[in-house]
Amino acid sequence: MSPRFYPKSFLKLLSLAFLAAALPLVVALVQTAMEVNLLVQQSRQAVGQTAQAARASRQLLEQTVALERSARQYLVLGEPSLLADYDTLRAGFRTTFSELSLLPLDEAQLLELNRTIDTEAALRERLEKIQGGKARLAEDYAALSDLARGVQRISDALTDREMSRLGELAGEAEQRLWKQLLAMLVLGLVVSALAAALIARPVRELEAAVSRLGGGDLQAPVAVHGPADLERLGQRLEWLRQQLNELEAQKVRFLRHVSHELKTPLTALREGAELLADGAAGSLSEGQREIVAILQGKSRQLQTMIERLLNAQRALDELGRLEFVPVDLARLVGRGLDDHRLAAQARGLRFQAECEPLTVWGDRDKLATVLDNLLSNAVKYSPEGGMIAVALKSEDGLACLDVRDQGPGVAPNDRERIFDWFYLGGSRPAAASVPGSGLGLAIARELAQAHRGRLEMLPEGPPGACFRLSLPLAAAGR
């Protein structure tokens, strides 16, 4: 969807999405109401017609009986007033006939109704002239009553037909409503899915941008497409990315500059200490030799820390230049153990390794750096004569490498910060060595994350600390 079609705010987008999703249901409700209203009107009309037909047919039968009685009286008494009474009843009879003729009768029913009215008209002419004999005329009026009863049967048939038609209309209306409801539901789902996609797109872009920034990826620009307020938020994230990029560049320049500036006087300091130790400036007393030895040791320590700092910076610079190849992690662990075996034997340490043959997709050198950091920490913090357990196994599509030592472990206050840059915990190494720089675990975790894995410290168990490196297996990682 083009950005110009997005509303100006996320709230408006949500409102429009809600309206769009609710519109098909509203249309379905309106159509249902219209169908029900039409069915009610048709029902009312059918009930009215059947009631009118029943009333008129009953009234016609009563009027026919009254006409027959009046005709018989006229035939017996011959008084003109009786004939006038007959004509009055006849007028009501014809009015009732007119009401029945307006009902929705079929052709056969109309013919039956017309035959009744025609028969009555013929009998009226014969009655006035008294043609065909009085007895015969009286019998013909009895036949007229039978025709009137036929009209009542027509009314019953009309009622049955209208009720049947009403049932058919109800069935058709029900089918239409189900079809319309199904169509509206499908349309509602389509509209809801489209609205959800429009809403989720800028949210996903924001989430991806935040994840990239949090993961240290500062190269990809942040672009958010959607409502104006979310686009402004994306622009602020882009500004933040640029600021972080600038800070990262400043940090790199600072480290390089500081390292260079420190190495120059440090070199002079080391050379001066060496000259003093060699007696170039004259013989030294015992106390002076101790001071020179301290200067030599501290200068070497400072040089080691500067080199580690530079190595850490080089490792961070190479995070974006990983060369992924299939790596036999079990063989890599074996090589790492061989590299640290002499250091372990010097302190009487033993390795216990249980490694499954697992392959991951990654940079062999960078993974070796992570493994080297974990093993060197285990050797450094293990007590003399202790054991270092290394286990490699597969869990939930991940290659999990556990390195456990029997050292003092990590203090509870240090567990949350053990992976922070330049953080040195309170625990001291068991081996006498140069103090750490607080960069090893931080670099190892960065390298693990660059391989879409993670480096974590497992909860406290037996004495010592246990670190777990989890990496996707080759099939999933690639």
DSSP code string of 129-195: HT-S-HHHHHHHHHHHHHHHHHHHHHHHHHHHHHHHHHHHHHHHHHHHHHHHHHHHHHHHHHHHHHH
Q: Give the CATH number of domain 320-477; options: 3.90.550.10, 3.40.50.720, 3.30.565.10, 3.30.470.10.
A: 3.30.565.10
Percent of the chain with pLDDT over 70: 73
Q: For 282, left (φ over 0), alpha (ψ -120 to 50), or beta? A: left
- DSSP 8-state assignment for residue 473: B
Q: Is the pLDDT of residue 283 over 50?
A: yes
Q: Which residue has the higher pLDDT, 55 or 241?
A: 241
pLDDT of 319 reads: 57
pLDDT tens digits, residue range 166-184? Answer: 777 777 777 877 887 787 7
Cα-to-chain-centroid distance, residue 442: 35
User: Considering the entire predicted model, what is its pTM?
Assistant: 0.44
* Span 320-365, pLDDT tens digits: 567 888 999 999 999 988 888 888 888 888 888 888 888 898 888 8
pLDDT at position 344 is 85
Type of residue at 75: L
Rounded distance between C-alpha atoms, residue 394 and residue 410, angstroms: 26
d(CA 141, CA 69): 9
Per the DSSP assignment, residues forming a β-bridge with 14 are none
Burial of 285 (0-12, 13-18, 19+ CB in 10 A): exposed
Architecture of domain 3-198: Up-down Bundle (1.20)
Judge contact between 429 and 380, C-beta under 8 A.
Answer: yes
Write down the pLDDT at residue 432: 46
Task: Quick: pLDDT tens for 387-435.
Answer: 888 999 988 889 999 998 888 777 777 776 777 766 666 555 555 444 5
Of 52, 36, 38, 62, the C-alpha closest to 104 is 52
pLDDT at 377 over 80: yes
CATH of domain 228-317: 1.10.287
* Secondary structure (3-state) at 382: coil
Most confident option among 197-211, 230-244, 272-286, 380-394: 380-394
Per DSSP bridges, beta strands 350-355 and 325-328 are unpaired
Higher-confidence residue of 454 and 75: namely 454
Q: Which two tokens stand for residue 114?
A: 């017309």
Q: Using CA atoms, how far apart are residues 259 and 256, in angstroms rounded to an integer? A: 5
Read off the amino acid at residue 178.
W
Among the listed residues 424, 335, 324, 415, the one whose alpha carbon sits nearest the alpha carbon of residue 375: 335
Distance CA 156, CA 209 (A): 78
- On whether the CB atoms of residues 396 and 324 are closer than 8 A, the answer is no
Domain boundaries, the chain: 3-198, 228-317, 320-477
pLDDT in the model for residue 400? 92
Q: What integer is the mean pLDDT of 49-64?
A: 72
Number of C-beta neighbours around residue 415 at 10 A: 15
Distance CA 147, CA 145 (A): 5
